[in-house]
Amino acid sequence: MTRTAFFISDGTGITAESLGRSLLAQFENVEIRMITKPYIDSVDKAHQLAAVIASTAARDGEKPIIIDTVVDSEIREVIREAPGFKVDIFSTFLEPLEQELATHSSYSVGRTHAIGSDDVYMDRIHSVHFALDNDDGARTHQYDQADIILVGVSRCGKTPSSLYLALQFGIRAANYPLTEDDLDESGKLKLPKVLEQHRHKLFGLTIDPRRLAAIRHERRPNSRYSSMDQCVQEVTQAEALYRRMHIPFIDTTRFSVEEISTRMIAETGINRRFSPR
């Protein structure tokens, strides 16, 4: 079964899409064609979109699913008349909240993703800059300012996780690659000296060697770097180091960057500087 879902907003559409994807992900047996329509902020745009929804319904032979966070009542009414199954997030949740709080909502477009506090916005920017400046062991002298230092073999997800932690939570995350340069005389992976004084900030990432080999093959095909033997060796040594040094770690193979990051926060107890938007 294939259905079309529209995520509609008079703002960025991030809230409608995030919630919509989360809801629809629960229906594994249904193939969903997802379409995001942000900035539907006029009645004319709403009518144009309603026509698209109608033509989609005619083409599919099924009503499209419509998930919206439209604030404007006139625009919402036009969308409501389109032939689809409606999930109106604001009217579903705001009206009961208004009754409970005994006050009216401001019904402000884009409130969730607005800059808001200048301090929070600047903290977000500084955290992202910190993650970029301290990517891949680039500036180890700043590790005293880090909230967390991700360690792991090349291409196991350190950089995207660091950036997500910075952008979504304001966490200053550095990351450091474990390489063959860190092997001792016996062939065991040892903790690099630059990390020794920051052991309490370390968090390890690991990955299935087969997945790692596939990722590396896209970067450097048919190389020692992407060979299965090399990937197995590096992952095995990294995991042995984590266990030997009691460094908490997570397997990133089947987790999204969102799951990796929130699991790290839950396990380490790091304080978020702000909540995700």
Strand partners, 183: 189
According to DSSP, residue 142 is labeled G
159 is in an annotated binding site: yes
Residue 190 annotated as binding? Answer: no
The H or E element containing residue 197 is none
3-class DSSP state for residue 8? strand
Q: Are 161 and 260 in contact (CB under 8 A)?
A: yes
Asked whether residue 156 is marked as a ligand-binding residue, the answer is: yes
Q: How far is it, in rounded angstroms, from Cα 144 to Cα 175?
A: 13
> Binding residue per annotation — 105?
no
Instruction: Please provide the size of the chain in residues.
Output: 277
Instruction: Enumerate the H helices of the chain as residue ranges.
Output: 14-24, 43-60, 73-81, 89-101, 118-133, 158-169, 193-196, 209-219, 228-245, 257-268
Contact indicator for 206, 250 with CB cutoff of 8 Å: yes
The answer to the question of whether 91 is labelled as a binding residue is: no
CA 97 to chain CA mean position, Å: 28
- Is 275 labelled a binding residue? no
Is 153 labeled as ligand-binding? yes
155 annotated ligand-binding residue: yes
Beta bridge partners of 87: 67
At residue 154, what is the residue type? S
Give the amino acid at 248: P
CA distances for 247 relative to 9, 88, 191, 196, 254, angstroms: 44, 45, 10, 12, 20
Tell me which amino acid residue 256 is.
Answer: S
Binding residue numbers: 152-159
Binding residue numbers for ADP: 152-159
